Amino acid sequence: MSTAPPRRWDIFCRVIDNYGDIGVSWRLARQLAHEHGAAVRLWVDQLPVLRALCPEVDVNAAVQSVQGVRVLPYAEGADYPPPADVVIDAFGGGLPPAYIAQMAASAVKPLWIVLEYLSAESWVREHHGLPSPHPQTGLPRYFYFPGVAPGSGGVLREADLLARRDAFCATEDAGAGVNDRRAWWAARGFDDVPADAITLSLFAYPHAPWRELFSACEQGASPVVAAIPEGPLAAAIREACRLGQSRRVQTGNLELRFVPFVPQLDYDTLLWASDINFVRGEDSFVRAQWAGQPFVWHIYSQAEAAHEVKLRAFLDVFGEVLPADSARVVRNLWLAWNGVAAAPPLASAWPEFLACRQAQRQGLRLWREKLLELGDLAGNLQHFCSGLVAKK
Ligand code: TRH
């Protein structure tokens, strides 16, 4: 007997800070709606943050449909409609008590999924998919871990992502993509980048050692163009270097270009148009992996340096697709960029990183195959929930 997959999904997202919590929730919501025919409601406590990723969002609307998803405000003490079949508690931010009460009162109990943070740590395999009934109500609740290794939930990937990425990059390789790149820059009011320049996209937290990076680029052998999206890092650079509102600054062999923070749907094209991507948090980190260009992860800092364990765990797994020497070089630069004690100086790590870009690109092709074998997070989640519903 086949059971229909759960169709109605509620995703609850509390924005802790920045864009990652809502960035992942929004991407998941869209994908469930577009690719799995799900009726998705996304409850979010900070609509202006979602609006930065999706300018169609009306921050004053009580209910709205955006790109096939119902978007509603998540507020404590509000009245909630009957629950959906599956309820996602994004990053364990919690569900409103009034909503939990409705879940508990439902004749058919909804599935409660705590969607955790992405991690490459080995313990994820043992915890992924484990049941953990809600202590007060006994509601069925499960922990679901995104990941990059077998035994995890995989990472988000829209069905058409790689075809779009490959089309963009194939024309780049053939030289015709210069037009795409030129158009990308023209749309943001800039000339095309010089043909011999290395282009960086630079998305990181403001405490990143950008001064060291800039100084290495200024003195480097090749011209470098750094695209810096507006935000706290751009503001910190402007202030420290007294750049005012300049959009373009040349210093030695480095050109800084301050670009607007683009809607999430356009962010991939910035990655595809860049030779090296500096990314952070969770969602941009995953997008850089799919983009296939050498990348540098600025991990979100946690208490007691827990993030360093997470960083090293990823480097261990990722290093398996790289030649040993390139794996060492990538590790050195990532540790330096993350300010890890005893990391080699960025000034020496950077030129070595540049020198092994080709090996990194090759490794990233293998990495892509490995990620593809895991399936994608939305599809895996859907499959997982269908299995649980069928067992009921
Ligand atoms: O913003 P982040 O640092 O997010 C987080 C949060 O801090 C969260 O609390 C933390 O737990 C988590 O990281 C690990 O980084 P992230 O995850 O990469 O999210 C950024 C989003 O912004 C991502 O969806 C891409 C998007 N983006 C745009 O849409 N346009 C842009 O121009 C840029 C630079 C990013």
Q: Is the CB of 262 under 6 A from ligand 1?
A: yes
- At residue 231, the pLDDT reads 97
- At residue 171, the pLDDT reads 58
- Protein residue with least CA distance to atom 25, ligand 1: 284
Angle at the Cα of 36 (from 30 to 42), degrees rounded to 5?
A: 35
Would you report the helix, strand and coil content of the chain in percent, each value rounded to 5?
45, 15, 40
Q: Is the CB of 154 under 6 A from ligand 1?
A: no
- At residue 390, the pLDDT reads 79
First to last CA, the chain: 13
Ligand 1 nearest-atom number relative to CA 264: 29
Q: Is the CB of 16 under 6 A from ligand 1?
A: yes
- At residue 78, the pLDDT reads 83
Q: What pTM was computed for the model? A: 0.96
Q: Is the CB of 201 under 6 A from ligand 1?
A: no
The parts of the chain modelled with pLDDT lower than 70 are: 1-3, 171-179
Count CB-CB contacts under 10 A for residue 242: 7
Q: 255, 282, 283, 376: which is the annotated catalytic residue?
A: 282
Beta bridge partners of 199: 225
Pairwise CA distance, residues 261 & 61, whole Å: 23
- At residue 3, the pLDDT reads 63
Ligand 1 nearest-atom number relative to CA 201: 34
Q: Are 33 and 68 in contact (CB under 8 A)?
A: yes
Pairwise CA distance, residues 329 & 357, whole Å: 10
Pairwise CA distance, residues 167 & 161, whole Å: 10
- At residue 170, the pLDDT reads 73
Pairwise CA distance, residues 73 & 88, whole Å: 15
The pair phi, psi for residue 140, each rounded to 5°, is -65, 125
